[in-house]
Amino acid sequence: MTTHALGLDFGTTNSVVALGGDGGAEMLEFAAPGGASAVFRSALCFWEDDEVRGGVNVEAGPWAIAEYLEYPQGSRFIQSFKSVAASASFEHASIFTKRLRFEELGKAFLDKMVAHSGGVLKDRPRRIVVGRPIEYAGSRPDEAVARARYDAMFAGFGAEVHYVYEPIGAAFSYARRLSEPATILVADFGGGTSDFSVVRIGAPGDARRCVPLGHAGIGIAGDRFDYRIIDKLVLPMLGQGTQYRSFDKLLEIPRGYFADFGDWSRLALMRNRRTLEALHKLQHNAVEPEAIGRMIAIIENELGFPLYDAVGRLKRALSSQDSATFAFTGGGVDIAADVTRAEFESWIAPDLERIEATIDRSLAVSGVEGKAIDRVFLTGGTSLIPAVRRLFDARFGADRIATGGELTSIAHGLALVAQEEDVAAWAS
């Protein structure tokens, strides 16, 4: 296949690249430490190294995880950093003596992705299509801030870079399976956001086969479900809900520390002088100082990744079993808790309600009733959670649900979009 275009799904948890040419698309596989894979983890690991310029070295993807596991206490491991793209309050990440802005983190990530591509991405095609969420993650996402940061991150990555809604990429990919016209709902469940697009698919050979009818998104997805687990099983052991002494008063430990701790994009950033000094001060005045001490130990010992891994194992187990054990040890915290699927689903029930309301909004803005949807295409890793799947089975019927390529369909479709004559018509 002659490569004419490239599709990049820059995800909160994972990133994927597809190469487009001759009307088709192929996934780029990376020779990762654990074996060849098309999935490139959206993570960075920094460590001090006197032999490199600036004294700080960096790795990305599965190589970042390997570096962290080899020397965890001497590393700075950052994951889900896409989640802060639209946060105006995020200014920089403190990495040893350096302060890195979002776009600098992003460029380091892209540079390492290119370096590990086996030379494939060294000479990139002129046209590149990058996926973007319909609504960015965060409590008050600023789309203008996110766009400026994306522009800075991808400056120089391609001569012609376009941004396209991620579920539109999935729609292009899924359309290859259809032999007749259909109205579809694409539901993309990632790590940071859940996005929905209603798309009219024409017959094969139509000049404009995919016609978007409307979109809606919300900054709730897999990472929020992770937070629910942390909130129930971990934060109570770190002082959540306890008090500290301030002169002659007893005040609750500020909740912001626990909100940051339960957010993968912010947990690693808590390892900075100002935050740790504040936590040590709280510990000195806390009614339960040992609990705050455990939080400090997890932060100082860079235990965010093993905590994330423990949460991920629980979610995966509960996707196929009625119960599973959450197990985490580190920083003076030792947890072995049995969790049923019913318990987990009760924890995420408020999030599922908001997701369902966003589905309603996507149909409303499209002017399409649920009964007019011929097919629902579920994609993204979080779509594998049974409670998410049941939501769609109940609304649309199991016979109308399609799945597959949960981690690769968006990049595949973006590479197809990149081959359209008028790519700008799809850009957002």
Domain limits for position 17:
5-179+404-425
C-alpha closest to that of 210 among 230, 240, 233, 184: 184
Which amino acid is it at 418? A
Which pLDDT value is given to residue 3?
A: 78
> What's the pLDDT tens digit per position in 88-130?
999 999 999 899 999 999 999 999 999 999 999 999 999 999 9
Total domains present in the chain? 1
262 located within any domain? no
326 located within any domain? no
HSE-CB for 46 with a 13 A CA cutoff: 21
* Residue-wise DSSP of 121-173: TTS--SEEEEEE-SS-SSSS--HHHHHHHHHHHHTTT-SEEEEEEHHHHHHHH
> Are 294 and 282 in contact, with CB atoms under 8 Å apart?
no
47 located within any domain? yes
Beta bridge pairs of residue 71: none
Q: Tell me 70's DSSP state.
A: H
295 located within any domain? no
What's the pTM value of the predicted model, to 2 decimals? 0.95
Beta bridge pairs of residue 187: 196, 378
> Are 164 and 417 in contact, with CB atoms under 8 Å apart?
yes
228 located within any domain? no
Task: Kindly report the CATH number assigned to the domain that includes residue 158.
Answer: 3.30.420.40
Which pLDDT value is given to residue 428?
A: 87
User: What's the N-to-C CA distance of the chain in angstroms?
Assistant: 28
Q: Count the neighbouring beta carbons within 10 Å of the beta carbon of residue 275.
A: 16
pLDDT in tens, the chain (428 residues): 777 899 999 999 999 999 999 989 999 999 999 999 999 999 999 999 989 888 999 999 999 999 999 998 889 999 999 999 999 999 999 999 899 999 999 999 999 999 999 999 999 999 999 999 999 998 899 999 999 999 999 999 998 999 999 999 999 999 999 999 999 999 999 999 999 999 999 999 898 999 999 999 999 999 999 999 999 999 999 999 999 999 989 999 999 999 999 999 999 899 999 999 999 999 999 999 999 999 999 999 999 999 999 999 999 999 999 999 999 999 888 999 999 999 999 999 999 999 999 999 999 999 999 999 999 999 999 999 999 999 999 999 999 999 999 999 999 999 999 999 889 888 88
263 located within any domain? no
C-alpha closest to that of 197 among 226, 167, 173, 232: 167
> What's the pLDDT tens digit per position in 275-307?
999 999 999 999 999 999 999 999 999 999 999
96 located within any domain? yes
C-alpha closest to that of 19 among 149, 118, 148: 118
Which pLDDT value is given to residue 175?
A: 97
* Residue-wise DSSP of 186-230: EEEE-SS-EEEEEEEE--TT-TT-EEEEEEEEES-SHHHHHHHHH
Structure tokens at 335: 């947890």
Alpha helices in 220-374 (DSSP H): 222-233, 255-261, 264-267, 273-285, 289-300, 304-318, 341-366
C-alpha closest to that of 379 among 178, 194, 198, 188: 188
212 located within any domain? no
Which pLDDT value is given to residue 264?
A: 93
